[in-house]
Amino acid sequence: MKFPELERITIDPNVMGGKPCIRGMRITVATITGLVASGVSFHEILDLYPYIEEEDIKASLSYAACNPLLKKSFMK
């Protein structure tokens, strides 16, 4: 199984302390996955962050599902 949308997730030590972000922006994967987990719809997230795309939300969810290190950061 391939996840080409994961290319949308970037890790840069100079952006948000090296946390996984969407396309180099200061929006973390954890922020997006936390919103989805809280019941916020994709449409509402796109209204909150108009500079991201639905594919970015999907990429965040794929990344979170595939990355155990991200899961550890939620448990702290």
- Domain locations along the chain: 4-70
pLDDT band at 74; cut points 50, 70, 90: very low
Q: What is the DSSP string of 5-71?
A: GGGGEE--TTSGGG--EETTSS-BHHHHHHHHHTT--HHHHHHH-TTS-HHHHHHHHHHHHH-HHHH
Confirm if 27 and 49 have CB atoms less than 8 A apart. Answer: yes
Between CA 18 and CA 28 the distance in angstroms is 10
Taking only the tens place, the pLDDT of each residue in 8-29 is 999 999 999 999 999 999 999 9
**pTM given for the model:** 0.84
Chain-centroid distance of CA 64 in Å reads: 7
Taking only the tens place, the pLDDT of each residue in 22-60 is 999 999 999 999 999 999 999 999 999 999 999 999 999
CATH class of 4-70: mainly alpha
